[in-house]
Amino acid sequence: MASAIDFCLDTAMKTTKKLLPGLLLLAGLLGSSGNASERAGLVSQGAAFKTTEGWLGLQLQCVGTPDLLRLRVMLDVDGRAHGEPQSGADFMIERGRFFRYPSGAKDWSWDELPPPLALQDEQTLTLIIRDAPFASRVKWHVEFVRSDWSVMGRFPERGELEFDYAAMPAKTPAPRVTPGYADELLALMPRTLSFRLDAEIKDRLWKPDPDIHGFSWKPEGLSSNVSFKVVLADVVSGRTEALAWGEAAVSSNGVRWAGRTLDVDWVLVREELSDGTLRVQGGLSADRERCLRIGVGVEMDLKDWLWHDDLYAARAMAAGAALFENVLPVPWGARGVQSCYPFGVVSSEKGLMIVETDPDEPRSMQISADVSNGFFGVWYDLALTPATSNFPSRAAFQCGFRSESNAVQAFRRAVENFYERYPAFAEGRSSTLELASKSALGLVSAPWTYRLAIPAPFVGDEHDALGLMALTAACGLLGEREAAASALLGCARRADGSRRMAYTTTPAGAKMAVNIDPELPGETNLPLNRALSEWNRLRGILRDPRFAGVCWDLDAASSVLDYNPPSMSVADYPCVYDSTVLRPALATAFAAEDFIVPASRLLRQSGKLSIVKDSMGSHAFFMPSADVIVKSFAVAKDGFYRRADDGRMSQLRTLAGRKPVICLLEGPATGLVAEAATRFLRESLYWGFLPGFGGDKNASIIDLSCPDSLDRSLVKTYRPLAARLVAAGWRPLGPVRADVPDVSVEHYGREESGLRHITLRNTATESRRAVLSIPAAKPGFAVNPLNGAAEWLQAPAGEEFTALSVALLPEEVAVLDLVDFTEASGERTFLKGWNSGAGESTACVKNVESLLSEQAFSAVCRLSWPAPAVSNQQNVFQLEVVNVGTNTLALSDLKLISSRQFRPFEDQTESLLPGMKAVFKGWFTAEEAVGQPWLEVQWGLKRGFSELWCSRLIRPDFVPPVVVRSEAARVQGEKGVAAIRLRVHNHSNKEAEVLVKYEGDFKGGRLEERVALESVKTILLPIRPGRAREGQMYVRAFCAGKQIFQSWYEVSFSGD
């Protein structure tokens, strides 16, 4: 393809009677002395041109890679008698900066002007001056300077180049890209339902069946059938009508209906699949553009049923209640929302019911339960247009209905069932531990967005931005040329035909939404589409060991509407519409599926990972193409990060299945406060997500390396534990239960495995002690890697479950390894190789080895201690020993060892007959854990002539004797009364006297309260309005003469 220099020469020959000397492409170099490395960067050819926007371009072809910092361009507009004395130059470009020689100056003194834009490819440098300050003939030459500013070479060798700026035609050089071929991508693209539904229906032999009247279904757990209802709505006219069931036709176990409603032809097929799903497929067609909404569901009385939002949240559906759904906003559809999950769940004591859309194909859809209308089903937003030439004026949809009589843990049961039928959602194919150790995880790819950095002198309107893109397509590096040219071809269009381009001011730039369908046809000057341009870029990493794979960054620009007819002509999925425009358009998020699906398959064939970033909302359909999911969190200026609520984390956990999820902190880790870092690592651990630190959110590489500013001991402790959970795999259903609702449990690892894991979280603001019910038909033990606790697990004779007591601080997260004795070696191997940051691995190894020795000694030893422990008092621990052997067991020599002292307790020795148990007690204080938080408890066992020394390393969590917590920092008064609520927790073993003082913009006071030992009390501080209706109050609390709490409160009273 011709270069821009060739273009300039051709243009000059056509527009001037005589080729100007300055446009001659002079081969060779002046300054030829010196070796090749010294000559690299010298100019060998040069030309000038004018862009369509009227900008001046100077293009320099160099020997080797251009070096902008060593090039000097001198421009003379009025002869050598004026300007800089030595050269006569009136303007100069030096080191990428633009200068004017001031009138009357005598020395080397220049005034700086706005700099030019520099574009560079492999051997050519193009300099663009936006507002060229000359209109006449210009003579110019180029100098190549050394580091001491001496001239090493000059082009041309003698004389000057020349151009007439006013006479030059305004024409930007053509893009320099070659056509691409999508064969390898297209070969791996699935054939979609809208393509194939008509043919599939016609290929079957259908026989009329007059005995079928209507569409009904018998769910498990219900005593009678439920009727199906399908409703069609014309969004433009507002008309709504239910489909009328005419004569049915049957084929095998399928039933087909067809008809015409609201001038739309439709066909509907129901079929009962072998896995128990009742599948419903439908197709719509019309003779003109239509914006439609169709609902498919069952008619039933939903009163007193539960709607399940996620793994934890469920809402009771009462008569007259509003619509129940779980949605996120999107820029399309009649209501502008999309279901978070591809399925919805309702349950009652009769059982559970599930409705799901086809998860293999994206659709604009909402799954909901409408109590007032007695409808549970799915609604689709579909637009018909002849522009979708693959299925002109047609659209198809598919959904399924399931039921079970067992409604226990309904949502989790539905998720487990969903994974069994759609394993691509649940299973990845990455080596998790290897993944966790990689720092450069993936090259970031966001081809649906083209970003253009705009230098300050070129900030203008869309016309200017397009001009810069055209120049990049002609004069940039190969990848830049392809990206710019393909974005110009595939730019998404608004309804009025304008390009979807937005501008940013800091930094200055433009962002363009781009369609990335691999089938998008090229044009004469733009022969390469965005999908192929991006695949050309990504091919390079297929054999690059530095990268684990490609990270698809699904930012907001990936979810817009595209009204571009060429894009619709190759669409594989139905069009949607904007409720304010009501014209068929493509959802670019759906079009992205056409690229991500085959590209992910090609990555996997090369042993690379397909990584999906920020895959929420409409992007749930991308999950089957993902091996790894990345969810980013922004670090705020205050040093904390923007946490996702449990609903969003539950969604991420559910859609990711057993695939690795990386929680990525993006932003200045240097400002991340220790409390936020700890919380981030704990939350990641609870959900079984890998913690990562990504730095710049616009970085081109996902980097998991730990920044130097972060406490590495925390990362060394938590990340290996999280990686182990990922390797085991999350399970939505599990047998472990906590008897306290504030303590939630997640399961990891197959239940039949002898090494499983659970994570625990206390969601309360107070400490909680819970009893866990754990299956333990096989003898084993539990280990808490975060505090070293090791505990026997053995169900009583004839039972399958055993009880295990755990204590959790407010919002604390814990992990328990549940290990059969047959798998003890695997647990020890991990613990010995775990290089934790604060001695946890050492404690776990010592405790597990002692426990295993005790097992071999036929002794069950359980050590318990207060959680939390209390500073300023003695904390009593208890050792319980059970003799499970056949001979007498002696217990003696209980002692505590700390970094400060060795404390034997009173000389106790107790003989235990078989089956008997003994309890010894000791104590510790907070002072003994200063400097070294680990305390060691030792005791001795003796059976006959055999002796065994046992030990446990413990790390108690200490709290002050009295803790005051605030329930809310903002107080709203009603009817002239407000109250600040304080929760006072007395952890100590004696009654506490608490004094509270409060003052501020309203009348305050003081309050004295007695709080019983080991109890919690709520204190109300009454406030009444004065003249002001809004203000602040300052609260302090004291105990034993010391201030233990202080806080400011915003108080306001309503107008009544």
Residue with the bigger pLDDT between 119 and 671: it is 119
The β-bridge partners of 94 are 72, 97
Would you say 256 and 201 are in contact if contact means Cβ atoms under 8 Å apart?
A: yes
pLDDT at 885: 93
29 confidence band (pLDDT: 50, 70, 90): very low
The chain-wide mean pLDDT, for the chain, equals: 88
User: Cα 209 vs. chain centroid, distance in angstroms?
Assistant: 51
Would you say 512 and 487 are in contact if contact means Cβ atoms under 8 Å apart?
A: yes
Q: Is the pLDDT of residue 390 over 50?
A: yes
Of residues 1040, 1002, 1006, the one with CA closest to residue 1024: 1002
Radius of gyration of the chain (CA): 37
440 confidence band (pLDDT: 50, 70, 90): low
- Using a pLDDT cut of 70, give the percent of the chain over it: 91
650 confidence band (pLDDT: 50, 70, 90): very high
Q: Based on the number of CB atoms within 10 Å of its own CB, is 537 exposed (0-12), middle (13-18) or buried (19 or more)?
A: middle
Name residue, tokens 């440098």: 125
Classify each residue of 858-874 as buried b or exposed e, where b means 16 or more C-beta atoms within 10 Å of its C-beta. Answer: bbbbbbebbbbbbbebe
The β-bridge partners of 861 are 881
Range in 134-138, 195-199, 275-279 with the lowest mean pLDDT: 134-138
Q: Is the pLDDT of residue 364 over 70?
A: yes
Measured between alpha carbons, how far is 65 from 934 in angstroms, rounded to an integer? Answer: 61
Measured between alpha carbons, how far is 366 from 397 in angstroms, rounded to an integer? Answer: 13
Measured between alpha carbons, how far is 853 from 859 in angstroms, rounded to an integer? Answer: 9
The separation between the first and the last C-alpha atoms of the chain, rounded to the nearest angstrom, is 78
Measured between alpha carbons, how far is 4 from 290 in angstroms, rounded to an integer? Answer: 47
Would you say 512 and 449 are in contact if contact means Cβ atoms under 8 Å apart?
A: yes
Q: Helices (H) and strands (E) in the chain — how many of each?
A: 17, 69
Q: How do strand 97-100 and strand 91-94 relate by DSSP bridges?
A: antiparallel
Q: How do strand 992-1000 and strand 1030-1039 relate by DSSP bridges?
A: antiparallel
Q: Residue 712 — left, alpha, or beta (φ > 0 → left; ψ -120 to 50 → alpha)? A: alpha
User: Residue 291, SS3?
Assistant: strand
Measured between alpha carbons, how far is 391 from 397 in angstroms, rounded to an integer? Answer: 13
Q: Is the pLDDT of residue 437 over 60?
A: no
Other C-beta atoms closer than 10 Å to the C-beta of 507 total 10
pLDDT at 906: 72
This prediction's pTM: 0.87
Q: Is the pLDDT of residue 180 over 90?
A: no
pLDDT at 901: 83
pLDDT at 257: 95
Tell me the CA distances in angstroms from 52 to 128, 169, 524, 629, 992, one per residue in order.
Answer: 12, 8, 18, 44, 82
Tell me the CA distances in angstroms from 652 to 552, 636, 834, one per residue in order.
Answer: 16, 22, 28
665 confidence band (pLDDT: 50, 70, 90): confident
Cβ within 8 Å of residue 605, ≥6 positions away:
none
Name residue, tokens 């890697």: 785
pLDDT at 702: 65
Range in 337-351, 687-701, 806-820, 853-867 with the lowest mean pLDDT: 687-701
Residue with the bigger pLDDT between 382 and 22: it is 382
DSSP 922-983: EEE-GGGGSS---EEEEEEEEETTEEEEEEEEE-PPEE-SEEEEES-SEEEEBTTBEEEEEE
890 confidence band (pLDDT: 50, 70, 90): very high
Q: Is the pLDDT of residue 452 over 80?
A: yes
HSE-up (13 A, CA, CB side) for residue 997: 8
Query: What's the average model confidence in pLDDT over 31-37?
Result: 44
The β-bridge partners of 981 are 1020
Measured between alpha carbons, how far is 377 from 397 in angstroms, rounded to an integer? Answer: 13
Measured between alpha carbons, how far is 492 from 10 in angstroms, rounded to an integer? Answer: 34
Kindly report the backbone phi and psi dihedral angles of residue 135, in degrees, each rounded to the nearest multiple of 5, phi listed first: -130, 0
Residue with the bigger pLDDT between 798 and 706: it is 798
Would you say 134 and 55 are in contact if contact means Cβ atoms under 8 Å apart?
A: no
Q: How do strand 508-513 and strand 449-453 relate by DSSP bridges?
A: antiparallel
442 confidence band (pLDDT: 50, 70, 90): confident
The structure tokens listed for 127 are: 């300099």
pLDDT at 3: 44
Measured between alpha carbons, how far is 124 from 30 in angstroms, rounded to an integer? Answer: 18
Q: Is the pLDDT of residue 20 over 50?
A: no
Name residue, tokens 């004696």: 990
DSSP 513-551: EB---TT----SS----HHHHHHHHHGGGTT-TT-SEEE
Tell me the CA distances in angstroms from 228 to 171, 244, 268, 542, 890, one per residue in order.
Answer: 63, 11, 12, 50, 73
User: Maximum distance among all alpha carbons in the chain?
Assistant: 118
Q: Based on the number of CB atoms within 10 Å of its own CB, is 611 exposed (0-12), middle (13-18) or buried (19 or more)?
A: buried
Kindly report the backbone phi and psi dihedral angles of residue 244, in degrees, each rounded to the nearest multiple of 5, phi listed first: -95, 125
pLDDT at 556: 57
Element (H, E) at 1017: strand 1015-1023
Measured between alpha carbons, how far is 586 from 563 in angstroms, rounded to an integer? Answer: 6
34 confidence band (pLDDT: 50, 70, 90): very low
Range in 319-333, 363-377, 576-590, 608-622 with the lowest mean pLDDT: 608-622
pLDDT at 822: 92
Our CA dihedral for 672, 677, 679, 680, rounded to 10 degrees, sits at: 100
Would you say 337 and 329 are in contact if contact means Cβ atoms under 8 Å apart?
A: yes
User: Residue 691, SS3?
Assistant: strand
The structure tokens listed for 1040 are: 């034993």
Q: Is the pLDDT of residue 2 over 50?
A: no
**Tell me, what amino acid is at 235?**
V
- Using a pLDDT cut of 90, give the percent of the chain over it: 67
pLDDT at 670: 58
Q: What is the pLDDT of residues 742-762, one digit of tens each?
A: 999 999 999 888 999 999 999
Our CA dihedral for 19, 25, 27, 30, rounded to 10 degrees, sits at: 90
Q: Is the pLDDT of residue 960 over 70?
A: yes
The structure tokens listed for 106 are: 């005598």
Measured between alpha carbons, how far is 860 from 491 in angstroms, rounded to an integer? Answer: 70
What structural domains and CATH numbers belong to the chain? Answer: 4-164 (2.60.40), 204-421 (2.70.98), 728-957 (2.60.40.10), 960-1053 (2.60.40.10)
Residue with the bigger pLDDT between 224 and 11: it is 224
Query: What's the average model confidence in pLDDT over 412-426?
Result: 93
DSSP 787-808: T--EEEE-PPTT-SEEEEEEEE
Name residue, tokens 């006071």: 1005
Residue with the bigger pLDDT between 123 and 322: it is 123
Cβ within 8 Å of residue 725, ≥6 positions away:
685, 688, 748, 757, 759, 815
Cβ within 8 Å of residue 917, ≥6 positions away:
880, 881, 882, 883
Query: What's the average model confidence in pLDDT over 207-211?
Result: 92
Measured between alpha carbons, how far is 401 from 270 in angstroms, rounded to an integer? Answer: 10
pLDDT at 695: 60
Q: How do strand 780-783 and strand 768-775 relate by DSSP bridges?
A: unpaired
Residue with the bigger pLDDT between 571 and 17: it is 571
Measured between alpha carbons, how far is 210 from 931 in angstroms, rounded to an integer? Answer: 85
Alpha-helical regions (H) of 556-587 = 565-569
Query: What's the average model confidence in pLDDT over 526-543?
Result: 90
**Tell me, what amino acid is at 538?**
L
Of residues 975, 1021, 983, the one with CA closest to residue 1000: 1021
Query: What's the average model confidence in pLDDT over 669-680?
Result: 77
Name residue, tokens 């067991």: 889
Kindly report the backbone phi and psi dihedral angles of residue 279, in degrees, each rounded to the nearest multiple of 5, phi listed first: -95, 140
Measured between alpha carbons, how far is 123 from 141 in angstroms, rounded to an integer? Answer: 18
Element (H, E) at 37: helix 36-39
Residue with the bigger pLDDT between 691 and 640: it is 691
Element (H, E) at 231: strand 226-234
Q: What is the DSSP letter of 107?
A: S
